[in-house]
Amino acid sequence: MTAIATRLEQARRITGSFPGPRSQELARRRSAVVAAGVASSVPVYAADADGAIVRDVDGNQFIDLGSGIAVTSVGASDRAVVAAVRDAVEHFTHTCFMVTPYEGYVAVAEQLNELTPGDHEKRTVLFNSGAEAVENAVKVARLATGRNAVVVFDHAYHGRTNLTMALTAKSMPYKHGFGPFAPEVYRVPMSYPYREEAGIAGKMTGEEAARRAIGMIEKQIGADQVAAILIEPVQGEGGFIVPAEGFLPTLAAWAKETGVVFIADEVQSGFCRTGAWFASEHEHVVPDLVTMAKGIAGGLPLSAVTGRAELMDAVHGGGLGGTYGGNPVACAAALAAIQTMKDQDLPARAGHIGDIIAPRLRALAEKTDIIGDVRGRGAMMAIELVKPGTAGTTKEPNPEAAKSIVQAALAEGVILLTCGTYGNVIRLLPPLVISDELLADALDVLEAAVLAA
């Protein structure tokens, strides 16, 4: 990778009190006007961001190991994205693709059909958010199969709209009190190697875990009732769970045999994050439909469903759409972000980042008894924290440790995010353009915070 040109100095710096006076003042204004239901995990207000650095309104600089939840993979203000957005808004901000279409939408579809796994004939439709992409993938699968049931997994996260709340596993905070939820959604067990029960021959294999899920589907729903299996190839919010090898291919093969649409939700794992363009590629899984968002457009809101032409084109004209879906400015940003990913070979860069992070986290796990598991792929790595002395036995979740480590790191100028059904996982999602030096510095901070916890 050639060094990326950045405006902001790529270094962390905490000046004076924290959070500073300007952030505190904004927090006061906010509490009087912003709905309490939307929470922020970091108590400072952003003024600028570039590369892997976020600068707040008081001049503090943070190394961003969250990328705004896996979005700013090309950096927070990639030069190419900024230039493309500027150029796009100079011409037009909106026409609505359903009224007067434009080239950017078509060009993004060409890119996605090319980049997503499989060389079959594909079609793409664009939306605004990840949840919207997931909802529409389910619409396509139901219409194309004439079936209703949708199968999802333990620990899954697919969004906050009504259907996607039903698809999401965790009640608090996502679903609690927000029902009733959409019907015909069925949940089956995930392959979660760290917390897996023993299989027939010791640890449960991916194939055994898939057979367990398939058995439940066949008994409790009936394969011929199932429109789609929806799965994150690496689970995001649920705890960066990488299923055991063989789990995804076994499910995909069963889906193919039974006429079930296999939907990979690559909203978090896609666009180079795991060391490949899409996480499905690590086990050569070719999904029928892929949902994408987050990293796709360098920070602008854009999402997509790309899939088999015969499924996508089963939908009647006018059956898919929305006022803003595939907004021209967001499309321009996506084309620029994708070009940056190609130019900088960000899939390889994500693999390199993983090769730096994984050994450091494993070495750290040797020095403490609160790290139960180190896992992930590429630049999507995590540690799962457990109560002291339980890592190899009861694996008792330790969300308190996760919280205190994240807070300690933040005070030193490193933004980290938690995740996991039990809130006990710290995830690392650096911008893929982060330098080795800056990453090493952030890992030093994390290491010290873990050892102090």
Site string for ligand PLZ, 249-268 (x = CB under 6 A): ----------------x-xx
Q: Using the rule CB under 6 A, is 69 a contact of ligand PLZ?
A: yes
Task: Quote the CA–CA distance of 412 and 426 in Å, as a whole number.
Answer: 16
Q: Residue 382 or residue 438: which is nearer to ligand PLZ going by CB?
A: 382
* Closest distance of CB 258 from ligand PLZ, Å: 24
Q: Residue 237 or residue 281: which is nearer to ligand PLZ going by CB?
A: 237
DSSP 56: E
Q: Residue 361 or residue 380: which is nearer to ligand PLZ going by CB?
A: 380
Our CA dihedral for 150, 134, 188, 315, rounded to 10 degrees, sits at 20
Q: Residue 61 or residue 291: which is nearer to ligand PLZ going by CB?
A: 291
Strand (E) positions, 111-204? 122-127, 149-153, 185-188, 198-199, 202-203
> Of 285, 169, 153, nearest to 212 (Cα)?
153
Q: Using the rule CB under 6 A, is 378 a contact of ligand PLZ?
A: no
> Which residues lie across from 414 on neighbouring strands?
63
> Which residues lie across from 122 on neighbouring strands?
308
* Contact of 231 with 261, CB cutoff 8 Å: no
> Which residues lie across from 425 on neighbouring strands?
384, 419
* Contact of 94 with 324, CB cutoff 8 Å: yes
Q: Using the rule CB under 6 A, is 159 a contact of ligand PLZ?
A: yes
User: Left (φ > 0), alpha (ψ -120 to 50) or beta: where does 347 sit?
Assistant: alpha
* Closest distance of CB 44 from ligand PLZ, Å: 19
Q: Residue 293 or residue 357: which is nearer to ligand PLZ going by CB?
A: 293
* Closest distance of CB 224 from ligand PLZ, Å: 27
* Closest distance of CB 294 from ligand PLZ, Å: 7
Among 232, 373, 412, 441, binds ligand PLZ (CB under 6 A): 232
29, two tokens? 């204004």
19, two tokens? 């959070």
Among 109, 112, 131, 304, binds ligand PLZ (CB under 6 A): 131
DSSP 204: P
* Closest distance of CB 317 from ligand PLZ, Å: 26
Q: Using the rule CB under 6 A, is 157 a contact of ligand PLZ?
A: yes
Q: Using the rule CB under 6 A, is 162 a contact of ligand PLZ?
A: no
Q: Using the rule CB under 6 A, is 160 a contact of ligand PLZ?
A: yes
* Closest distance of CB 257 from ligand PLZ, Å: 26
* Contact of 269 with 236, CB cutoff 8 Å: yes
Site size for ligand PLZ, by CB under 6 A? 16
Among 293, 305, 330, 416, binds ligand PLZ (CB under 6 A): 293
* Closest distance of CB 232 from ligand PLZ, Å: 5
Among 134, 149, 185, 188, binds ligand PLZ (CB under 6 A): 134
Q: Residue 265 or residue 288: which is nearer to ligand PLZ going by CB?
A: 265
Q: Using the rule CB under 6 A, is 302 a contact of ligand PLZ?
A: no
Closest chain position to ligand PLZ (CB): 130
Task: Quote the CA–CA distance of 77 and 432 in Å, as a whole number.
Answer: 13
Task: Quote the CA–CA distance of 305 and 287 in Å, as a whole number.
Answer: 11
User: What is the DSSP track for 306-327?
Assistant: EEEHHHHTTSPTTSS--SSTT-
Q: Is the dihedral of CA 122, 125, 129, 133 positive or negative?
A: negative
Among 118, 130, 206, 243, binds ligand PLZ (CB under 6 A): 130
* Closest distance of CB 116 from ligand PLZ, Å: 15
* Closest distance of CB 236 from ligand PLZ, Å: 4
Element (H, E) at 206: helix 206-220
Among 154, 237, 373, 441, binds ligand PLZ (CB under 6 A): 237
Q: Using the rule CB under 6 A, is 135 a contact of ligand PLZ?
A: no
Tokens 């076994």 sit at which residue? 250
Q: Using the rule CB under 6 A, is 154 a contact of ligand PLZ?
A: no
Q: Using the rule CB under 6 A, is 427 a contact of ligand PLZ?
A: no
Q: Residue 270: how many CA atoms within 13 Å on its side-chain side?
A: 26
Q: Residue 82: how many CA atoms within 13 Å on its side-chain side?
A: 12
Q: Residue 289 or residue 293: which is nearer to ligand PLZ going by CB?
A: 293
> Of 409, 414, 362, nearest to 383 (Cα)?
362
420, two tokens? 């996991």
* Closest distance of CB 168 from ligand PLZ, Å: 8
User: Which residues of the shown chain bind ligand PLZ in the complex (CB under 6 A)?
Assistant: 69, 129-131, 134, 157-160, 232, 236-237, 265, 267-268, 293
